[in-house]
Chain A
Amino acid sequence: MSGFVIRGGTVVDATGTRRGDVAVDDDGTIAAVGEGLEGGDVVDASGCVVAPGLVDLHAHLREPGREEAETVETGSRAAALGGFTAVVAMPNTSPAIDCASVVREVLDLGRSAPCDVHSSGAITVGRAGEQLTPMAEMAELGVRLFTDDGDGVQDAGLMRRALEYASGLPVPVTLAQHCEVAALAAGGHMHEGEWSSRLGIPGQPAESEELMVARDIVLSRLTGMRVHFQHLSTGVSVDLVREAKRRGLAVTAEATTHHFTLTDAEVASYDPLYKVNPPLRPDADVAAVRAGLADGAVDAIATDHAPHTQEAKEQAFDEAPPGMLGLETALALALTELDLPIEQVLALLSWQPAAIAGLSDQHGGPVAVGRPANLCVVDPTETWTVEPTASASRSRNNPYAGRTLTGRVRHTFLFGEPVVLEGDAQR
């Protein structure tokens, strides 16, 4: 054994928490876990938590098509800096990821990235909501999560057929839904309520999300297929999923860092930095999302990392595109904002999303001999101030500028390679 030893940390994974060094072999697997390990180089982890790398179910890497905002390479670097060892790239690229050739392109771009890039696939061709994509040929290339993210599949009949068709694929896949009933949301640029009424910005009601959550819960029951709900943002959505789980339905859900951190009151600045879809919601919804993360109604924290150029965000609020960055701040926001033990935060950011994405064989731990060394080392007490210009992303639409957060990623290892050391990207 040569390799290196991550020394002095506390190992946290789905099996529990214990003091321990982690020895990583040259082949990128974990060689030993235990106290007082010797051999090879030493990476300091004293005072830190050594955990399975984080997994983001929801990142917009913008390639192909919008390389001025982000590329697979820059987005992956931001991910690695945020402690992620795997991201699922959303399909709303140009062209959309709706067939094998585009999946192949994204995977090719990801091969040299400092993070394991997985592609999602669209449910409908061009994400247009009309015709099913060739899911089998995409699944053959490794796609496990299908979504029309950016839009919900509006036609309930089509969604039913998508679920039924997917159930017959040779590998298990998950259909994920961006829940937004267009007929209710159309033309809305923020949450409809007190603030939209006062600010004169057309709103979209919480119900446009909730109605599709309810619809897909019953479609999950009808088809027996698993449905994953993306970026839940309202109290009723969280309640619906909680109740569906209580009834034994195969549903999972994610919530974003911004939906448990920011409220629609931010929009009073009219800064399109705070424009995002689903929109920022009032306090009560933020509290409900936090409660859902705490009690297991929501399974994962996702970033919905959505880079946009400065020019795009320097339009009027209703003309600017929705979306905000999230990969580099996710873990720190969760540790700072959520009143949860680090073990639970890591479950929400690592092994639970890994399972939903079908990546558990390589990501999400456990930290055990023979497993791939996809790891992040986090100092849970370090405080730092968010500085958007310091981001590895090509874009700067970071709504947390100037915030002081607690908890920082020190090192990230991808299949044993140190891609981040002491907070610096190594490539």
Chain B
Amino acid sequence: MSHDLLSVGDLGADGIDEVLQLTDSFVEVSERAIPKVPALRGKTVAWLFYEDSTRTRLSFETAARRLSADVMNFSVASSSVKKGESLRDTVQTIEAMGVDAIVVRHRSAGAPWQVAKWADASVVNAGDGWHEHPTQALLDCYTIRQHLGSCEGRHVAIVGDVKHSRVARSDVLAFTAMGAEVTIVGPPTLLPPSLEGWPVAVSHDLDSVLPKVDIVYLLRMQRERMASGLIPSLREYTARYGLTRRRVDRLGEDALVMHPGPMNRGVEIAADVADLPRSVIVDQVRNGVAVRMAVLYLLLGAGSDKVLTGVEGAS
């Protein structure tokens, strides 16, 4: 892996594969009675979160702690940013404290690229606006590999609000890099204005897509979309694009149901569908920790050219 993880597309098939293979070992670590290794002892990982995030932050934090890294939290309340220092000044402040990696979540697309420009530390994109969420895509690939052997030749339907989804953008890049076929499904108002250059098929008819896919990947449907007139109502959205029990019957026998969380039960996914054995949503969360351990390890661990900022303990 190179110095930063900004776009999952930068990894390519080989890079993704490297992460997935290493994830196997960290899944094993996570299953131990004491799920902790000293691999990153003496390294410091900082969270720079410009947007509320509980799940991703906890997952990264757990990953870092299981690798024995020190963690530092720099959460910027969404309201106080504009009157405060520039992004560059914030980055330099964090760097001055001596960190090896900065995990960035920002509500603006591209912010991690700017952070990487100004920081010497490794930068991990933990979600930037509508743009990308690389570690989510990696854990999705891992989960598919875990259940179906590999992504190669699989057909994934990504359903819902693709336009505003960083998960969808990263998943499209990762799934197609790994040899999967992707169909995005949703009302035209929730698809990107242009799909020029996207290696995907497009459908507005979920029912006709379901029998053909190995994975149905549901995106979170946010209530704001209704207020801004992109859909008439959640009820109509659910009627056309919700994964109801009836629709599950159209899926192939081994087809998986995935969701990046948090779910709106009863909107994009029916409550009972979320709990079916074919739904691997909890596995996604579990694998998230191991995948993020792999990413941090590849960026900061053995083979990294980073200078230690602290005293390296004996492992």
In the complex, the chain B residue whose C-beta lies closest to that of A205 is B193
Identify the closest chain A residue to B192 (Cβ). A197
- Interface-centre pick from A201, A271, A316 (highest chain B CB count, 10 A): A316
Selecting from B26-34, B57-65, B105-113, B234-242, the interface stretch reads B105-113
Contacting A at CB under 8 A, from B172-217, are 192-198
Shortest distance in angstroms between A320's beta carbon and chain B's nearest beta carbon? 9
Q: Which of B82, B89, B109, B196 contacts A199 (CB 8 A)?
A: B109
Residue A137 at the chain B interface, CB threshold 8 Å? no
* Shortest Cβ gap from B77 to chain A (Å): 15
Bound-state CA distance A203–B196 (Å) is 15
> Does chain B have a CB within 8 A of A339?
no
Which 9 pairs between the two chains have the least Cβ-Cβ distance?
A: A270-B110, A200-B131, A316-B108, A197-B192, A200-B130, A200-B109, A314-B88, A194-B196, A314-B86
Please tell me if the beta carbons of B109 and A317 are within 8 angstroms of each other in the complex. Answer: yes
Q: List 16 A-B contacts (CB under 8 A).
A: A197-B196, A198-B197, A200-B110, A201-B110, A201-B131, A205-B193, A311-B86, A315-B86, A316-B50, A316-B108, A317-B110, A317-B114, A318-B109, A318-B129, A319-B81, A319-B108
Q: How far is the CB of A264 from chain B (nearest CB, A)?
A: 11
Which chain A residues in 153-212 approach chain B with CB under 8 Å?
192-194, 196-203, 205
List residues of B (74-129) whose CB comes within 8 Å of A's CBs.
81-82, 86-89, 106-111, 113-114, 128-129
Q: Which residues of A contact B87 (CB under 8 A)?
A: 314-316
Contacts of A269 in B (CB 8 A): 113
Partner of B130, one of A202, A311, A315: A202
Given contacts A316-B106, A316-B110, A317-B109, could you give 11 more A-B pairs where the C-beta distance is less than 8 Å?
Answer: A192-B194, A198-B197, A201-B110, A269-B113, A271-B114, A311-B86, A314-B114, A315-B87, A316-B107, A316-B109, A317-B111
* A293 → chain B closest CB, angstroms: 27
How near does chain A come to B162, taking the closest CB pair, in angstroms?
A: 10
Q: How far is the CA of A199 from the CA of B110 in the complex (A)?
A: 8
A interface residues (Cβ-Cβ under 8 A, vs B): 192-194, 196-203, 205, 269-271, 311-312, 314-319
Q: For residue A205, which residues in chain B have a CB less than 8 angstroms away from its CB?
A: 193
Chain B residues near A317 (CB-CB < 8 A)? 108-111, 114
How many A-B contacts if CB must be within 8 Å?
78
Assess whether B197 is in contact with A270, with CB atoms less than 8 Å apart: no
Residue of B nearest to A317 (CB): B110
Kindly state the separation between the CA atoms of A198 and B114 in the bound complex, as whole angstroms.
Answer: 17
Closest A residue, CB atoms, query B110: A270
A200→B169 contact, CB < 8 A: yes
Chain B interface residue count, Cβ-Cβ cutoff 8 angstroms: 29
Question: Which residues of chain A have C-beta atoms less than 8 A from B113's C-beta?
Answer: 269-270
Min CB gap A272→B, angstroms: 8
**In the assembled complex, which residues on chain A have CB atoms less than 8 Å from the CB atom of B130?**
200-202
Distance in Å from the Cβ of A68 to the closest Cβ of chain B?
Answer: 13
Tell me if B132 counts as interface (CB < 8 A to partner A): yes
Measured in the bound complex, the distance between the Cα atoms of B130 and A156 in whole Å is 34
- Shortest Cβ distance from B81 into A: residue: A319
Q: Mark B146-172, 1 if CB is under 8 A from A, else 0.
A: 000000000000000000001001000
B161 → A minimal CB distance (Å): 12
Contact between chains at A201 and B194 (CB < 8 Å): no
Given A270-B114, A316-B114, A318-B129: A201 in contact with B109 (beta carbons within 8 A): yes
Q: Give Cα A75 to B99, complex, Å.
A: 41
A194 and B192 CA atoms in complex are apart in Å by: 9
The CA of A198 and the CA of B110, in the complex, are separated in Å by: 11
Nearest-neighbour CB distance to chain B for A193, whole angstroms, equals: 5
**CB <8 Å contact, A200 and B166:** yes
- List B contacts of A315 (CB < 8 A): 86-87
**In the bound complex, do residue A192 and residue B131 qualify as a contact, i.e. CB atoms below 8 Å apart?**
no
Cα–Cα, bound, A197→B165 (Å):
11
Query: What residues on A are CB-neighbors of B197 within 8 Å?
Result: 194, 198
B228 closest partner in A (C-beta): A187
Once bound together, how far apart are the Cα atoms of A297 and B107, in whole Å?
A: 41
- CB pair B86–A203 under 8 Å, yes or no, is no
Inter-subunit contact A200/B128 (CB<8 Å): yes
Q: Report chain A residues within 8 Å CB of B89.
A: 311, 314
How many angstroms from the CA of A393 to the CA of B82 in the assembled complex? 25
> B111 — nearest CB in chain A belongs to which residue?
A316
Residue numbers in A under 8 Å from B86 (CB-CB): 311-312, 314-315
Report Cα–Cα, A271/B193, bound state, in Å. 22
Bound state CA distance, A205 and B87, in angstroms? 28
- Beta-carbon nearest neighbor of B118 in chain A: A314
Chain A residues lying within 8 Å of B107, measured Cβ to Cβ, are 316
Taken together as a complex, chains A and B put the C-alpha atoms of A197 and B172 apart, in Å, by 13
Q: Would you give the shortest CB distance from B51 to chain A, in whole angstroms?
A: 11
Does the CB pair B129–A201 fall under 8 Å? yes
Are A200 and B129 interface neighbours, CB within 8 A?
Answer: yes
What are the residues of chain B within 8 A of A193 when measuring CB–CB? Answer: 193-194, 196
A318 / chain B contacts, CB cutoff of 8 Å: 108-109, 129
